[in-house]
A and B are shown apart, each in its own frame.
Chain A
Amino acid sequence: MTDTTPGNPAAEADTSLQHPPLGVRISRKVQSSWKTVVVFLPYAWLLIFFLLPFVIVAKISVAEALIASPPFSSLIEWTDEGILTIRIVIDNFLYIFEDDLYVKTYLNSVKISTISTILCLLLGYPIAYGIVRSPPTTKNMLLFMIILPFWTSFLLRVYAWMGLLSDQGTINNMLISLGLIETPIRMLYTEFAVYVGIVYTYLPFMVLPLYANMEKLDNTLNEAAADLGAKPVSIFLTITLPLTMPGIIAGGLLVFIPATGEYVIPDLLGGGNVLMIGRLLFNEFHANHDWPVAAAVAIALLVLLVAPMMAYQHYQGKQAEAR
């Protein structure tokens, strides 16, 4: 390898394999420890800023609410007899599954984010496809325009939608002045407004993974399919759609997961009329000051969101296996 001394080449090779020179050994050591550092850093980050808070929230979720500071009982405490005891209260979980409101809100959140995800897909797929198929200079411009909304504050954009959708808002005023309607259509503080807000906000998260996926598609596959007698619709169904499935799944998860826990959009655009888990969580924490129930809601939400992630991981694993 690094051996340059002359001699019997076979014997040299043997010894250099077993006892590499000191320099090589040191550099290997440094390399492997550097590898450890590189791998360890992100894990440490996740440990401190994800796992630790999660454990704290999980701890709170099995505590009892108290009027104190902090407003919950502690997990481990000394009884009067001096015995160390662990107190786990599952009442909070039972409570959120017994109370209709929580279950309903969960289901409603899932419903809203599912429909939003499908709407994002239906809108985002043709957009991504169009961008991929456009000439390079236009392509960059179009991609830039997809990312552009991120340059203004999210809150500001939601407020702008309030201005557009309200009874005296731009859309209603325009429709009235055109004579299409006489009285304003109620849009703000309805589920419709929530859908508009979520689809508008999360559309780029659908378009970008789809774009990245479609960009890799080889156009000769389409030509090959056409050559073998497939009409455009069947090319789409048999070639393009299956090959863009990873993009659809990635985009779908990027929309579905944050949309389920969304708080700002249902609060500002849905008002009190649209129940979503994010708002419920906020209410438990701030209005009711019931931290343990709020923590239980958060844990339940996490479990709810981990399930589709696991499904995705499983799918990816299967894909990798096939490859």
Chain B
Amino acid sequence: MTEQKAYSDSPWLDPEAEPFIKVRGITKKFGPFIAVNNVDLDIYKGELFCLLGGSGCGKSTLLRMLAGFEQPSSGTISIDGVEMAGVPAYERPTNMMFQSYALFPHMTVEKNVGYGLKQGGVPKSEIEDRVNDILKLVELQDFKKRKPHQLSGGQSQRVALARALVKEPKVLLLDEPLGALDKRLREQTQFELMNIQDKVGVTFIVVTHDQEEAMTLSTRIAVMDAGQFSQIGTPTEIYEFPESRFVADFIGSTNIFEGRVTEETGDHVVVDTEAGEILIDYGMSVQTGARVYIAVRPEKIQLTKEPPAKVGPNQAKGTVEDIGYLGDVSIYKVRLDNGTLVDVTAPNLVRPKNRTHKITWEEDVYLSWSASSPILLTK
């Protein structure tokens, strides 16, 4: 019992848990082009799962195969134990929220939302009740009689969400759900979407290219590249423990230094890189002399005008080449003495008195980071 409770927030860690959606060896080819390449995926009930990747990585194709709009070239998909091969889109227990929203332009909001129920043969009075309930959930009860062209982007988005949710699907598929909204609305809607998912308890699968959106929304993220998963994990795992240069680079910004392992013991690794000697305070199974990559996040590097107290690994000296002021933080581009360019972000903790930064252009600075920060990558 206690064990079950421990896994309730992260069912993917439970070896006993049965995945709600099982994708096995799915491949989709369009002529010679392989959009999705032999992919396996388990998604558990109640998850808010994100498929994250650049355009053309195959994330939308995978979603469309789940919805039944595309037939896989090979492989199987099962949802809640039911094999989906040969089940047409209109009989699948999934509903999709389209990127373009795909609201029916000739129907009112009410008719749009009730469309799925009407097609399912639900009695009229029940349709009305359920449409009212779901419109209340997305706070659009006053817009029932509007046509789609009379709605703002945010309102259309919520109608599309309501329309997809009203049939109470087992799985809700969302294709770039917030892509068409402006930044402020997007941030606000992200949290609304999470709250709604929490209320209805439906499994959400979200396709997005926006890593910030994926990080905020999801229980787990699958980073996709060239039709395959680069890494599947929680937002923290993906950000703090990327498994490859691609993931480290795609999620957030990062400095990647190439280097050679000079020392390797069970509890630490030393790598000689372009940014000087880097000490990592945890063991990795790498050979001494192996070529590796070290990723250091810009916000994990300290920027000082004074040299560090004692000379050692994990420090470097350079000149500020450029400053990007973002308000809350500033990005410093520091050119090391050996020519390597390093990004450093520093929070603007105090309001500058004379309207200029403490550290400014062409200044000599020292960089340092803790031994737990660097990420050692072999691919």
Contact = CB atoms under 8 A, between A and B. Distances in A.
B70 to A, nearest CB: 10
Nearest to B95: A227
B100 A220 contact: yes
B149 A323 contact: yes
A238 B118 CA distance: 11
Contacts of A242: 106
B104 interface: yes
B119 interface: yes
Contact of A228 (B88, B95, B100, B147): B95
Contacts of B120: 229
* Contact residues on B (Cβ < 8 Å of other chain), bracket: 20 to 34
A38 interface: no
A231 B147 contact: no
Contacts of A227: 67-69, 89-90, 92, 94-96, 164
Contacts of B115: 225, 228, 230, 238
Interface string B57-72: 0000000000111000
B119 A234 contact: yes
A223 interface: yes
A230 B98 contact: no
A227 B175 CA distance: 13
A221 interface: yes
A43 B186 CA distance: 50
Interface class of chain A by DSSP = helix
Given A221-B104, A239-B104, A243-B106, A228 B167 contact: yes
Interface string B139-163: 0000000010100000000000001
A218 B167 CA distance: 23
A228 B163 contact: yes
A155 B89 CA distance: 51
Interface in B101-118: 102, 104-106, 115-116
A238 B114 CA distance: 13
A224 interface: yes
A242 B91 CA distance: 24
Contact of A220 (B102, B163, B167): B102
A228 B119 contact: yes
Contacts of A228: 90, 95, 115-116, 119, 163, 167
B88 A224 contact: no
Interface in A206-251: 218, 220-221, 223-231, 234, 238-239, 242-243
A223 B92 CA distance: 13
A230 B68 CA distance: 13
A227 B98 CA distance: 10
Given A229-B90, A229-B167, A322-B147, A224 B119 contact: no
Contact of B102 (A218, A229, A234, A323): A218
Contacts of B92: 227
B76 to A, nearest CB: 21
Contacts of B90: 226-231
A228 B116 CA distance: 4
A226 B67 CA distance: 10
A153 B113 CA distance: 53
Interface string B80-100: 000000001111101110101
B91 to A, nearest CB: 8
Q: Which of B95, B98, B102 lies at the interface centre, i.e. has the most chain A CB atoms within 10 A of its CB? A: B102
Nearest to B113: A228
Interface in B335-356: none
Interface in B13-29: none
Nearest to A221: B102
Nearest to B149: A323
A59 to B, nearest CB: 46
Nearest to A220: B102
A229 B90 CA distance: 4
Contact of A223 (B69, B116, B147): B69
B323 to A, nearest CB: 31
A218 B163 contact: no
Nearest to A234: B119
A223 B96 CA distance: 9
Nearest to B114: A228
Contacts of B89: 223, 226-227
A218 B119 contact: no
A224 B96 contact: yes
A231 B91 CA distance: 9
Contacts of B116: 228-229
Given A230-B119, A234-B119, A323-B149, A220 B98 contact: yes
Contacts of B163: 228
A238 B147 CA distance: 16
B119 to A, nearest CB: 4
Interface string B310-344: 00000000000000000000000000000000000
Nearest to B67: A227
Contacts of A239: 104
Interface string B152-192: 00000000000110010000000000000000000000000
Interface in A224-280: 224-231, 234, 238-239, 242-243
Contacts of A322: 147
A319 B332 CA distance: 56
A229 B167 CA distance: 9
Q: Which of B67, B89, B91, B116 lies at the interface centre, i.e. has the most chain A CB atoms within 10 A of its CB? A: B89
Ordered nearest first, which 8 A-B pairs have the shortest CB separation?
A: A228-B116, A224-B102, A229-B119, A220-B102, A226-B89, A230-B119, A226-B90, A227-B96
25 contacts: A218-B100, A220-B98, A220-B102, A223-B89, A223-B96, A223-B102, A224-B104, A225-B104, A225-B115, A225-B119, A226-B89, A226-B90, A227-B67, A227-B68, A227-B96, A228-B116, A228-B119, A228-B167, A229-B91, A230-B90, A231-B119, A238-B115, A243-B105, A322-B147, A323-B149
Given A224-B102, A230-B119, A239-B104, 4 more contacts: A224-B104, A227-B68, A229-B167, A230-B115
